[in-house]
Amino acid sequence: MNARTSVEQVEESLLLAPKFDANGLIPVVTTDVNTVKLIP
């Protein structure tokens, strides 16, 4: 993965630069495409 060096790099670059939390995880929200309900 690439380091996050600037807002422009994160928002406009073609390189993936995810932001991990202290546990090495990425927060996500997953929804069902048909019902738009949250998937726990």
Phi then psi dihedrals of residue 10, to 5 deg? -75, -45
Domain ranges within the chain, ordered by starting residue = 1-40
Helix (H) or strand (E) holding 9: helix 7-12
Q: 3, 20 in Cβ contact below 8 A?
A: no
Q: Which of 18, 20, 22, 38 lies closest to 30 in space, CA to CA?
A: 38
At 31 the pLDDT is: 96
2-31 residue pLDDT tens: 677 788 877 888 887 788 889 999 889 999
Helices (runs of H) and strands (runs of E) counted in the chain = 1, 0
Q: DSSP 3-state assignment of 1?
A: coil
At 14 the pLDDT is: 84
At 2 the pLDDT is: 67
* pLDDT band (50, 70, 90) for residue 33: very high
At 20 the pLDDT is: 86
